């Protein structure tokens, strides 16, 4: 028998909010977290802006008897968000039946201290810090979370670029649905170390002032850091312990564009297949969807082709369907983006308020849907489709819906 | 794992390894005890005591994939493309669009393109941002090998890249296995890839993980041997074609074997010291046995994880011995890493391919360099050539400090 | 800094040849990178990056779509030198 999968806790640290409450309040208000990067000197780079988490103080998230371990920024972000998510779910560490709780996280290789470790190696200093080497491998984030909270179930990092968070969530969903686990900590995390930032500058897809998804004059994406952590569990497990439930995951769809490393297929077929697959898996029709949390990166190709794909899937219904992109406010946090957008989907269902696409000034005839421009909107949202379309053509769409308490 | 009733079979094998390109050369060299481990030409002998690795040689991607657009591909992308192409061809999947379109692709890897990433950082430090080539950066991302696979082979179904420690490749196979059982896809290429590079060799030297690191100690890869003193690095790509059984039968596929059990667990520990635990090995094996619905006595051969690391081989040997304590004690065990080196993400899939061939020919490949086990260990560790016996099922293990995975495969014949 | 057109052509042709792994004399002045020389947009970015590095300039993103052939590359680069 396939179990229902629900979300009982959220932890978010984003450029416009260092907690779920702060993030969501600011998202509804349309507050941007994008600003000049201060973590390193960007004056010699063509771009100076990003979504940095300003004044991130790890010690605020850890109790005095369990201080923040010295594990680097990206690990600390994810540990802090996991703590908040567990608290949000009303779970103590002792509540987790160790072997039936696992961790799946989206992250793309800015592993704890990866840039620092490689730098040390280049400067001949790694000999003195052998202890750092085992933190280098790609899966260290999910391992660190499991070690910190003593979880012994399945454990993996998914590294599918912008879709990584959704791949991690989908896998967590499968492990719960099939009965392998009762609780999963899932989501995504990413920071923007200087080398990653420099490389993205060379790809020429970064905007220099703002992120303007779907706007005619959109210039590209804005890199950011962040983390979204979700506590997923089976419905029966959540009900048994009287947990507050944000919503249910009904299903997901996956596909590949099989086209280009950075450009989506011009026909939108990959995105179409992912969205259609999600609706089919969820057992719902296009008319059941109330809101789309778009991938909406702010690049010319993505926003145009995502719009085209939405129209192919939803037909005329697309014009009745609000579609907004939180990346307009917090930028693109790669491995974390889909996870934060999953949190947004669930918060939207809970609050019945759709967050806006900000910086929307000029409409684009090729992007003519309702993007909830600049101001949030009250709407009875029960079912959300959340899209993530990653580099390399990895596509995952997930359906979230309201569930009875 | 709740069984859905769908069975998963292996219908194709693609291998890029130091022991041969393609399943037949690979298996032939294993049977003959021919190691792919050699002196690394590019290593400065004065800088490193450890001089050996299992590097892939004589691999030319343009023999497998049209050569246009192969510039700046990472080694991982090259290995994945070669192995995927071979697995598709071995599975006799049509090269036309429809044949590949609905085939999923999942890859596991541990270190990624470490060498290329270090080159980028070096460039950034010495030349600044203008020195970084866009295509070089893109090809370094962890998911690019799988994405290049989907692009060049026109595969539009599910596509993912995961990492879960040393068992990354085995877990990718587990992921594909679960996806087929859940009915998400009928066919999936699944496997792992890993690159050898000087950086990794140096880092493993710093950790004293490598055999021969300490002065005066013999450098050799000797899984389970009482004189073992560390691992030797290997590299490669190994990809299997997994298919839903009925779909495979319907298209007349040649079926090598069936995956009947999979288990993947985590043991919490201090990350900065490498000390795998027997408990983790046992939990993974137990989970796979429960999934398969068989007892340990149903295993005919263990294609071990043992990689010549002191604690690793000890905990695996003790775990296996515990399982055998109440039943057959002579179940043959061997480790191909004696000939391939430790290939991390690629190792688990290489071991499964080995298990498939062991069942096909009823022959156990040897553990080269093995002479005597640790005191107290009385496993049947095969080190001779031409050890033949009936092999109908194989247990494959893969683990590290934290992650422990096991897969059980069973022989397939048309009468099954 | 004053670069003659001839010098620019020589240098940029050399960059293109290196990126495309082609002999220099096989690159026509008006050959379109993507349509005639058969490269993709990322490889085209490598050409741009090579020119920027060689001459220590940075093209604004809006100019990139104009750099589609050796001839066009020379024209655009001239404006920024």
Q: A179 burial class (0-12, 13-18, 19+ CB within 10 angstroms)?
A: middle
Q: What is the tens place of the pLDDT at every residue in A47-101? A: 999 999 999 999 999 988 777 788 889 999 999 999 999 999 999 877 776 779 9
Query: Which ranges of A150-250 does DSSP label H, i.e. alpha helix?
Result: 164-177, 194-203, 235-240
Determine the Cα–Cα distance for residues A398 and A247; give it in Å rounded to an integer. 13
Interface predicted TM-score of the whole assembly (ipTM), two decimals: 0.97
Domain A5-240: give its CATH superfamily: Thiolase/Chalcone synthase (3.40.47.10)
Residue B130 forms contact with C (CB below 8 Å): yes
C-alpha to C-alpha distances, B149 to A199, A307, B87, B88, B154, nearest whole angstrom: 23, 27, 12, 11, 8
Provide the residue ranges of all domains of chain B, joining segments of one domain with +.
7-416
Element (H, E) at B282: helix B278-292
Cβ contact (<8 Å) for C45 and A260? no
Q: What is the tens place of the pLDDT at every residue in A283-332? A: 999 999 999 999 999 999 999 999 999 999 999 999 999 999 999 999 99
CA distance C5 to chain B (A): 23
Determine the Cα–Cα distance for residues B248 and B213; give it in Å rounded to an integer. 48
Among the partner-chain residues B127, B131, B134, the one whose CB lies closest to the CB of C45 is B134
Place of tokens 């750092």: A132
Q: Which of B181, B353, B173 is nearest to B256 (CA)?
A: B353
Q: Name B394's Cβ contacts closer than 8 Å, sequence gap at least 6.
A: B299, B300, B301, B302, B303, B352, B355, B356, B358, B359, B408, B409
Among the partner-chain residues C21, C52, C56, the one whose CB lies closest to the CB of B71 is C21
CA B376 to chain centre: 29
Within 10 angstroms of residue C78's Cβ, the number of other Cβ atoms is 11
DSSP class of residue B157 equals S
- Helix A20-29 and helix A337-351, axial crossing angle in degrees, nearest 10: 80
Phi, psi of A292 (to 5 degrees): -115, 125
Quote the pLDDT of residue B1.
44
Torsion angle of alpha carbons A115, A116, A117, A119, nearest 10°? 80
Annotate B169-205 with DSSP letters as a single string. Answer: HHHHHHHHHHHHHTTS-SEEEEEEEE---HHHHHHHH
Q: Which of B211, B214, B402 is nearest to B307 (CA)?
A: B211
Per CATH, is B7-416 categorized as 3.40.47.10?
Answer: yes
Determine the Cα–Cα distance for residues A244 and A230; give it in Å rounded to an integer. 13
Q: Which residues of chain B have a pLDDT value below 70? A: 1-4, 45, 97, 415-416
Yes or no: say if B211 and B194 are a contact pair by the CB < 8 Å rule. no
Dihedral sign from CA coordinates of A149, A155, A158, A163: negative
Quote the pLDDT of residue A239.
94
Give B71's contacts in chain C (Cβ within 8 Å).
21, 43
Region of B33 on the Ramachandran plot (φ > 0 left; ψ -120 to 50 alpha; else beta): left
Q: What percent of chain B has pLDDT over 70?
A: 98
Provide the residue ranges of all domains of chain A, joining segments of one domain with +.
5-240, 247-401
Second-level CATH architecture of A247-401? 3-Layer(aba) Sandwich (3.40)
Residue B154 forms contact with A (CB below 8 Å): yes
Q: Which of B342, B382, B343 is nearest to B363 (CA)?
A: B382
Phi, psi of A5 (to 5 degrees): -120, 125
Residue C52 forms contact with B (CB below 8 Å): yes
Yes or no: say if B327 and B296 are a contact pair by the CB < 8 Å rule. yes
Quote the pLDDT of residue B123.
92
Residues within 8 A of B (CB atoms), A 67-106 only: 99, 102-103
What chain B residue is nearest to C21 in terms of C-alpha separation?
Answer: B71
Q: Which residues of chain A have a pLDDT value below 70? A: 97, 111-113, 405
Determine the Cα–Cα distance for residues B149 and B169; give it in Å rounded to an integer. 16
Q: What angle do CA A108, A110, A111 make, to 5 degrees?
A: 100
Quote the pLDDT of residue A397.
98
C-alpha to C-alpha distances, B93 to A106, B90, B250, B257, B356, nearest whole angstrom: 32, 8, 13, 17, 19
Cβ contact (<8 Å) for B266 and A151? yes
Quote the pLDDT of residue B240.
98
What are the structural domains, with CATH classification, of chain C?
5-79 (1.10.1200.10)
């Amino acid at each position: 028998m396939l179990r229902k999968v629900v979300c009982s806790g959220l932890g978010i640290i984003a450029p416009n909010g260092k907690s779920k409450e702060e993030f969501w309040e600011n998202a509804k208000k349309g507050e941007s977290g994008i600003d000049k990067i201060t973590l390193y000197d960007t004056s010699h780079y063509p771009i100076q802006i990003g979504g940095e988490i300003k004044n991130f103080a790890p010690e605020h998230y850890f109790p005095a008897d369990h201080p923040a371990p010295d594990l680097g920024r990206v690990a600390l972000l994810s540990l802090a968000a996991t703590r908040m998510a567990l608290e949000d779910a009303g779970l103590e560490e002792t509540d987790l039946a160790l072997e039936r709780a696992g961790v799946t996280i989206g992250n793309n290789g800015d592993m704890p201290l990866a840039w620092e470790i490689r730098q040390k190696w280049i400067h001949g200093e790694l000999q003195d810090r052998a202890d750092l080497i085992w933190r280098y491998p790609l899966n260290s984030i999910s391992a660190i979370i499991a070690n910190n909270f003593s979880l012994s179930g399945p454990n993996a990092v998914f590294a599918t670029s912008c879709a990584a968070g959704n791949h991690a969530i989908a896998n967590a969903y499968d492990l719960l649905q099939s009965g392998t686990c009762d609780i999963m900590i899932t989501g995504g995390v990413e920071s923007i170390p200087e080398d990653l930032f420099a490389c993205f500058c060379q790809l020429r897809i970064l905007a220099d002032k703002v992120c303007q998804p779907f706007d005619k004059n959109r210039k590209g994406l804005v890199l950011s850091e962040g983390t979204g952590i979700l506590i997923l569990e089976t419905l029966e497990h959540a009900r048994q312990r009287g947990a507050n439930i944000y919503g249910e995951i009904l299903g997901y769809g996956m596909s590949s564009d099989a086209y280009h490393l950075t450009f989506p297929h011009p026909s939108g077929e990959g995105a179409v297949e992912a969205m259609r697959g999600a609706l089919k898996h969820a057992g719902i029709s296009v008319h059941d969807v109330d809101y789309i949390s778009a991938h909406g990166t702010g690049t010319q190709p993505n926003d145009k082709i995502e719009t085209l794909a939405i129209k192919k899937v939803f037909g005329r219904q697309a014009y009745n369907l609000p579609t907004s992109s939180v990346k307009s406010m917090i930028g693109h946090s790669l491995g974390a983006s889909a996870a934060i957008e999953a949190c947004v989907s669930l918060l939207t269902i809970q609050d019945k308020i759709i967050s806006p696409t900000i910086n929307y000034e000029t409409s684009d005839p090729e992007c003519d849907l309702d993007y909830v421009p600049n101001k949030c909107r009250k709407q009875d949202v029960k079912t959300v489709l959340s899209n993530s379309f990653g580099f390399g053509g990895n596509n995952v769409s997930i359906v979230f819906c309201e569930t009875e308490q | 794992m709740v069984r859905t009733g769908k069975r998963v079979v292996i219908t194709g094998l693609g291998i890029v390894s130091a022991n041969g390109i393609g399943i037949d050369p690979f298996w032939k060299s294993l049977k003959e005890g021919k190691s792919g481990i050699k002196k690394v030409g590019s290593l400065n002998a004065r800088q490193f005591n450890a001089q050996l690795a299992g590097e892939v040689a004589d691999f030319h991607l343009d023999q497998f994939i049209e050569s246009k657009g192969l510039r700046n591909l990472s080694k991982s992308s090259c290995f994945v493309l070669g192995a995927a192409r071979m697995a598709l061809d071995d599975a006799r999947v049509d090269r036309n669009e429809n044949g590949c379109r609905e085939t999923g692709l999942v890859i596991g890897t541990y270190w990624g393109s470490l060498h290329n990433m270090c080159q980028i950082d070096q460039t950034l430090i010495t030349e600044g941002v203008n020195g970084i080539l866009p295509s070089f950066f893109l090809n370094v991302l962890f998911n690019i090998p799988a994405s290049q696979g989907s692009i060049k082979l026109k595969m539009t179904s599910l596509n993912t890249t995961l990492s879960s420690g040393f068992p990354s490749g085995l877990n990718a196979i587990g992921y594909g296995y679960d996806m087929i059982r859940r009915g998400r896809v009928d066919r999936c290429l699944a496997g792992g890839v890993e690159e050898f590079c000087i950086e990794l060799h140096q880092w493993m030297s710093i950790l004293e993980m490598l055999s021969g690191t300490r002065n005066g100690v013999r450098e050799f890869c000797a899984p389970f041997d009482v004189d073992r003193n560390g691992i030797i690095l290997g590299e490669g790509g190994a990809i299997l074609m997994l298919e839903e059984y009925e779909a495979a039968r319907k298209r007349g596929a040649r079926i090598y074997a069936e995956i009947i059990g999979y288990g993947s667990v985590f043991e919490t520990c201090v990350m900065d010291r490498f000390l795998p635990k027997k408990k983790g090995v046992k939990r993974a094996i137990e989970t796979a046995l429960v999934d398969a619905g068989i007892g340990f006595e149903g295993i005919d051969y263990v294609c071990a994880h043992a990689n010549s690391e002191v604690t690793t081989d000890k905990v695996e040997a003790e775990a296996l011995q515990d399982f055998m304590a109440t039943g057959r004690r002579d179940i043959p065990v061997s480790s191909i890493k004696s000939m391939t080196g430790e290939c991390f993400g690629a190792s688990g899939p290489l071991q499964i391919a080995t298990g498939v061939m062991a069942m096909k020919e009823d022959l156990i490949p040897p553990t080269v360099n093995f002479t005597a086990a640790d005191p107290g260990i009385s496993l049947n560790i095969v080190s001779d050539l031409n050890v033949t016996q009936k092999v109908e099922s194989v247990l494959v293990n893969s683990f590290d400090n934290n992650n422990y995975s096991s897969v059980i495969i069973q022989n397939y014949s048309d009468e099954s | 800094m004053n670069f003659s057109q001839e010098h620019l052509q020589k240098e940029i042709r050399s960059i293109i040849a290196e990126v495309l792994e082609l002999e220099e004399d096989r690159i026509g002045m008006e050959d379109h990178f993507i349509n005639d020389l058969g490269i993709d947009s990322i490889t085209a970015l490598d050409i741009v990056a090579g020119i920027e590095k060689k001459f220590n300039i940075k093209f604004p993103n809006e100019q990139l779509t104009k750099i589609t052939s050796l001839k066009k590359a020379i024209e655009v680069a001239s404006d920024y030198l």
